[in-house]
Amino acid sequence: MDRESARDRIEKLSALIREHDYRYYVLDDPEWSDAEYDRHFRELEKLESAFPEWMSQDSPTQRVSGTARNDLAPVRHDDPLLSLEKVVEASEFEAFDRRVRERLGREQSDPIAYVGEPKYDGLAVSLLYEEGVLTRGATRGDGLTGEDVTANVRTIRSIPLRIRGSHWPRRLEVRGEIYLPKEAFRALNQVIEKEGGRPFVNARNAAAGSLRQLDPRVASARPLAFFAYGVGRPFQANLPECHSELLERLREGGFPVTREYRRLIGVGPCLAYFRGLLERRNELPFEADGAVFKVDEVREQEQLGSVARAPRWAVAFKFPSEEVTTVVEAIEFQIGRTGTLTPVARVAPVFAGGARIAHATLHNMDEIARKDIRVGDTVSLRRAGDVIPEIIRVLSRQDSGRGPSVDWPRSCPVCGAPVEQVPDEATIRCSGGLHCPAQRKESLRHFSSRAALDIQGLGEKLIGQLVDTGLVKTPADLYRLDVARLIALERMGPQSAANLVAAIEQSKQTTLARFLYALGIREVGQVTARLLAESMGSLEALLGAQEDELLTIEGIGPVIGHAVWVFFNDPGNRQVIDRLREAGVQWPNVELISDAVPGRFAGALFVLTGKLATVTREEAETFLREAGGRIGQSVTRKTSYVIVGENPGHKLDDARRLGVPTVSETELLEWMSKPGLP
């Protein structure tokens, strides 16, 4: 076959396969048998292998492509993927509708047109199409920044690599949910169990874990599916003016859209839709944990706008939580990444909310005492969506064989360090922050973060490898690493290893404030670390300070003072600190606050609250310090001024209550621009 004939055949086969994918995944009306599909697909593969110059990036054969990566690059969303306001009662939905009508100036006799859709229990994604071709896929992440999962998204056959038809915007962001159908989830877990692996807890976790695989070939083997439910903003020309019409347009473009959506006029039909969806919840082929209602007219959506984290034109009506009965078999304590001890009940396994439940949180000791939960009790357990299962109430208590009342342990069940109760809280924490295995990864992540020792290249995944392989147990072990040890790790080449060793060496030169912050002492943030450094002058002084001496520092209250004293008096923590200094971690002498050069704000104590729009908080604090001022964390009668930005917190209320003068950002800028003020 000559080159031109091959080109024509490749284009024809690609178009035929795309059409089959559309009929199969969108219309659920395939024209080919599986064997016929495979025959055409293999022919296309052979032709593209023989004539690679005619293979396009949106070819059906390119769904599984690329090599395994060692990270998922961050993606900044052009338009944030906002969360949805949630309601759980009909009265709350009615209140939502009332707010919508009030903002639109609509009377009760003029009902709003909504679109009702299932609230999929999957993973939200953003798909970017340029000139009709898929160029990027990203997870939602925190709404502002997600992860680049383009290679894995391309393996999902229900996601078109090229949009069908024309008259689409040149740049279009399609939003939707990636999920595992119920049957596919069960089949996947059966395969994993046969291979001796650990099955996924629920379909959502399976979908998320599959999509975030570093090797696209692994993701390709997972039967992921996709539903489109909207587009990114700003809303562009050539798109319908109603959301219901947009869904149909997306379907025509080759995107799967649920058959369950409905256009609904007013509150009554919306509530009926919700009840109907709830009744059929177990019959749906996908997991759903509620219904989403969106104002149908795009013009009205734009008029309603959004608040900080959620659009005003949409709401999620959550299904009621599911309760089941089980028996408490044991009560244990788990150690979180920051050292918090959480009581957990091990229960007789039951199914709730689409998952097998063998453990349930007991929250804290006050909750256990209030509900009088003990081993042997029959209890009611509740789970809704991804919420951690919890015990709601004790249904019956055995006359015999009931365990004793629960008391919190005196030492950490993992490292043996003393535990301490947080003042005025029902929370207890392990004091072995630097040497407790349960806190190991978190303490290393914090230690190496930019505001702490700033070790470039030491990311979360690499920290996980270092801990899991036993190379690093405490931050001090980082300074024993060399290229030979590092290149033995997965996906770590000689150059990357050398760069990391250099970054670790560079981190040895730091400041006392950064070092104190890096230790991860509870309640000690950057401001408090700097305050401790400037007040005590040296690490030796801090190590030898008694608790009452710490409380004499302006800005250090009982909670912080106790946390600092407990941390430095733990033998394991002190041993790690000694090893860090022996490794060469050092800092210049600290100028004590009392020895500071007097300035226009000499002796003044400032507290900042809210977000500064014109300058950064760091710039403001630097200006105040250079002028002789000090920075505090809480407002007391000794506070001189409270700097107030946008959306201030309780510190503004404290200032008003105590009569402390407040300073706006405008006034602060005047201070910074005019040396004579105030």
Under 8 Å between Cβ of 525 and 564:
no
Residue 210 belongs to domain with CATH number:
3.30.470.30
Side chain identity at residue 255, one-letter code: F
Q: Are residues 148 and 288 in the same domain?
A: yes
Residue 57: CATH number of its domain: 1.10.287.610
C-alpha–C-alpha distance, residues 477 and 346, integer Å: 35
Average pLDDT for 393-418: 84
Report CA torsion sign: 633, 637, 643, 647: positive
- Residues 285 and 391 both lie in one domain: no
What is the per-residue pLDDT for 585? 95
Judged against a pLDDT cut of 50, whether residue 597 lies above it is answered with no
pLDDT category of residue 365 using cuts at 50, 70 and 90? confident
- Taking the C-alpha atoms of residue 31 and residue 21, their distance in angstroms, rounded to an integer, is 10
Which CATH number does the domain housing residue 504 bear?
1.10.150.20
The number of folded domains in the chain is 5
d(C-alpha 157, C-alpha 349), whole Å? 36
Q: Is position 23 within any domain?
A: yes
Give domain status of residue 337, yes or no: no
Banded pLDDT at 671 (limits 50, 70, 90): confident
284 plus 209 within the same structural domain: yes
Mean pLDDT of 30-58: 73
State whether 98 and 117 are in the same domain.
Answer: yes
pLDDT at 673 (0 to 100)? 76
Asked whether the beta carbons of 463 and 489 are under 8 A apart, the reply is no
Query: Tokens representing 186?
Result: 């069960």
Same domain, 444 and 532: yes
Question: Region 564-582: what's the mean pLDDT?
Answer: 93
Checking if the pLDDT of 12 tops 50, the result is yes
DSSP, residue by residue, 486-531: HTTSTT--HHHHHHHHHHHHHTTB--HHHHHHHTT-TT--HHHHHH
**What are the pLDDT digits (tens) for 417-455?**
888 876 666 678 888 878 888 888 888 988 999 889 999
Identify whether 75 is part of a domain: no
Average pLDDT over residues 364-375: 87
Q: Is residue 338 part of a domain?
A: no
d(CA 644, CA 639): 14
> DSSP label at 236?
-
> Is 474 found in the same domain as 553?
yes
My answer on whether 313 and 355 are in the same domain is no
pLDDT tens column, 177-219: 999 998 988 888 888 888 877 777 677 778 887 887 767 777 7
Whether residue 192 sits in one domain with residue 266: yes
Residue 79 is assigned to a structural domain of this protein: no
Which pLDDT band, with edges at 50, 70 and 90, does 669 fall under? confident
| Domain-embedded: residue 123 | yes
pLDDT over threshold 70, residue 90: yes
Residue 419's nearest CA partner among 365, 468, 465, 494 is 365
528 is in which domain, residue-wise?
409-591
| Chosen domain end from 529, 558, 591 | 591
pLDDT digits (tens, 9 = 90+) for 212-270: 776 777 777 788 999 999 998 765 667 899 999 999 999 999 999 999 999 999 999 99
* pLDDT(33) > 70: no
Q: H-type helices in 26-89, by residue range?
A: 34-50
Q: Are residues 131 and 197 in the same domain?
A: yes
Q: Are residues 357 and 469 in the same domain?
A: no
Give the pairing of strands 630-631 and 605-609.
parallel
Amino acid at residue number 74: P
C-alpha closest to that of 468 among 491, 490, 492: 490
Catalytic residue selected from 12, 86, 119, 441: 119
At residue 66 the predicted structure's pLDDT band, cuts being 50, 70 and 90, is very low
Domain boundary among 591, 608, 641: 591
DSSP string, 105-155: T--TTSPPEEEEEEEESSEEEEEEEETTEEEEEEE-TTSSEEEB-HHHHTT
Tokens representing residue 136 in the block: 């990027």
674 as an active site residue: the answer is no
Distance CA 311, CA 79 (A): 12
Mean pLDDT of 497-521: 93
* Sign of CA pseudo-dihedral 556, 558, 564, 565: positive
Question: In this model, does residue 81 exceed pLDDT 80?
Answer: yes
Q: Do 152 and 269 share a domain, yes or no?
A: yes
Establish if 73 belongs to a structural domain: no
pTM of the model: 0.51
Q: Is residue 404 part of a domain?
A: no
Determine how many CB atoms are found less than 10 A away from the CB of residue 82. 16
| Residues 582 and 436 grouped into a single domain | yes
| pLDDT bucket at 595, cuts 50 / 70 / 90 | very low
CB 420 within 8 A of CB 429: yes
Mean pLDDT of 5-24: 76
Q: What is the CATH number of the domain that holds 630?
A: 3.40.50.10190
Last residue of a domain, one of 561, 591, 621: 591
Q: Which CATH number does the domain housing residue 387 bear? A: 2.40.50.140
